[in-house]
Amino acid sequence: MALLRKTLKEYLFFTEPDKPDDFVLEEGKDEGNESCNDAVKDGSGEKREKTEKVRKSKGVIKKLFTPEREDTACYGYDSNADNSEKNESDVKKESKDPESIKRKTSISKDVARNLEYMRKVYNVPLNGDVVIREFEIAFKDKTIPAFSIFFDGLVDRMLVNESILKPLMLLSNIEIKGKEDDIADYVQKHILPQSQMLLEESYEKVIFGINYGCCAIFIDGVDKVFVADAKGWEHRGIERPNAELVIQGPQEGFGEILRINTALIRKILKDEKLIVEDILIGERSKTPCSMLYIKDIVNDSLVQEVRRRLKGVKIDHLIDSGELEQLIEDSTYLPTPQVIYTERPDRVSRYLANGRIAIIVSGSPFALVVPATMWNLFHATEDEYVRFPYANLLRVVRLFAIFLTLLLPGIYIAITNYHHEMIPTDLLLAIEASREKVPFPSVFELLIMEVSFELIREAGIRIPGPIGPTLGIVGALILGQAAVSANIVSPILIIIVAVTGIGSFAIPNFSLAYSFRLQRFAYIALGATAGFLGISFGLFIMFLWIAKAKSFGVPVLVPYGPTTADVNKGNIFRNPTWKQNRRPDDLNVKSKNSQQEISRQWKINEEEN
């Protein structure tokens, strides 16, 4: 009876909903005592405890806090960084694997054994690009056998010859004033002039160094290996960014070399608080990634969250930042992107200065910036460089472009099929007259054109050289005209599809434009089935979905949903530069002000005079 009463009450009367999950940025400060105390205070302790248990069982929280790395190697990465993250099953598996045991063991003093082992590891002579050079070092009236090993093409040959092999083979014969009895000390202090060189004690670290473009030197009688930085692979230089061109503003884009990319950012920011934290991703590829943030601005919880996600990525190979984006984003199925994808160092620097975090992957000319809100995706780089009225005009144009891309075909279908009364009679007659000879229903006609347009666009990208843009013109002009002449489509539809396509090109974020292109088909279907009601339903569902979405704990629609103090501060329209005193408040940054309250001090001086 009590149960029936309870059920009836539940269905008959409104009951207060459970409190939603806490904002990640605040709860991440300490997963231990603080959050537990808070949970007890707000009365949701039990629920939180259960969630914690589930998360702990999945091994998420225990990976959140990892000890600081002891040192960064000469190649820039600690080869142990990712090993500490391996889960227990991996450790067990490895502990049984004799090869992995050997790799972690210390290096033999016998150079012949080391040579044999390295030959085995690198499958020499099957592996054609491994270079092993045997030689002898003169040390106190005796010669000591040694060998160097490196990858041809990865190292700078000149550097290896002049700064490593030549000193070891020739300079060791010259009598150098030194009291060292140990050859390792002697070589390190007097023979090798390398600025970045490490003495490694395990095979694993040596192998990692060689794979990353270092030259390893094994010497008989020494149970350590010299790993000298000699990277010298070929790479593309700094070029103009292809996808984010600006008229006014810096013209440098990222390249494929990680250190050059981080240096480009450091060159702009020149801030000693800028941290470039290195993380290796990929069990096999060991792709170096850098996480950049400004320590005294960024929210620590955000840093921990990004670090946790990056270290929680367990894949064999990571090639590009696009893959990483998909592995760390919050929602896989949400059509809109949740990470900012940019190839401009100046844009990354601006985001870093506002308290965001950038992730750069070695080998990728695109940096990821997190967290991303809808407004970040809608802004273009040039917005900050041009005067604010112009920037606002561009933003209005962009909003209009979004409307066209997303809704124009759907609205056309809805009006022509269901809401004839909305358009003036003359226009209606013109539309109908143009469609008179077209044998297909308007929705089918529209789909033919949309698919053709997407086809032309895709083909234009794939076709190499100057033929690509030519195909676009041929497709748009000739095929369009031919389709109209053949009465397959009506002329007004050509205009609709063309305007929609142009609108999608005006969206500054490539991923966002993709998302709207995808959603457009849903709105066509909804407009064709239920007219404006269907489109309204689609918009309602889309906004619900986006309003629920978060990017690294930050709601995607902030500061409008949820509303914050920044609601009127230049998200849709930009404020003048001198008025942008505060950093965005959605990230709870440590330093709220980005400039002085009165940034134009000369104005005061002018008034005083």
Partner 1 sequence: MSFDLIAAILILIWIFIYSSSYGVWTWNKKNRIGGAAVLLVSLAALVFPLYLIFFRT
The site for partner 1 (CB under 8 A) is made up of: 11-14, 16
Token pair in block for residue 62:
């225990």
- Nearer of residues 7 and 143 to partner 1, judged by Cβ: 7
Token pair in block for residue 92:
């067990």
DSSP code per residue over 97-125? -HHHHHHHSBPPS-HHHHHHHHHHHTTTT
**Nearest distance from residue 17's CB to partner 1, in Å?**
10
- Nearer of residues 43 and 439 to partner 1, judged by Cβ: 43
Residue 605 has, within 13 A of its CA and on its CB side, a CA count of 4
- Nearer of residues 2 and 12 to partner 1, judged by Cβ: 12
Between CA 441 and CA 450, with CA 446 as vertex, the angle to 5 degrees is: 155
**Nearest distance from residue 563's CB to partner 1, in Å?**
15
What's 519-557 look like in SS3?
HHHHHHHHHHHHHHHHHHHHHHHHHHHHHHCEECCEECE
**Nearest distance from residue 15's CB to partner 1, in Å?**
8
Query: Are 499 and 479 a contacting pair, CB within 8 Å?
Result: no
Give me the residue label for tokens 């940034």.
599
- Nearer of residues 178 and 562 to partner 1, judged by Cβ: 562
- Nearer of residues 3 and 12 to partner 1, judged by Cβ: 12
**Nearest distance from residue 595's CB to partner 1, in Å?**
38
Dist CA 398 CA 513 (whole Å): 11
Counted residue by residue, the chain has a size of: 609
Query: Are 491 and 432 a contacting pair, CB within 8 Å?
Result: no
- Nearer of residues 12 and 126 to partner 1, judged by Cβ: 12
Query: Are 213 and 105 a contacting pair, CB within 8 Å?
Result: no
**Nearest distance from residue 6's CB to partner 1, in Å?**
15
- Nearer of residues 13 and 602 to partner 1, judged by Cβ: 13
**Nearest distance from residue 10's CB to partner 1, in Å?**
11
Which positions ≥6 away from 192 have C-beta within 8 Å? 163, 164, 167, 168, 217, 226, 228
- Nearer of residues 8 and 158 to partner 1, judged by Cβ: 8
**Nearest distance from residue 527's CB to partner 1, in Å?**
29
- Nearer of residues 16 and 608 to partner 1, judged by Cβ: 16
Q: Say whether 274 sits in a helix, a strand or coil.
A: strand
Nearest by Cα to 87 from 125, 60, 127: 60
**Nearest distance from residue 8's CB to partner 1, in Å?**
11
Phi, psi of 6 (to 5 degrees): -65, -45
**Nearest distance from residue 27's CB to partner 1, in Å?**
25
Provide the 10 A C-beta neighbour count for residue 122. Answer: 18
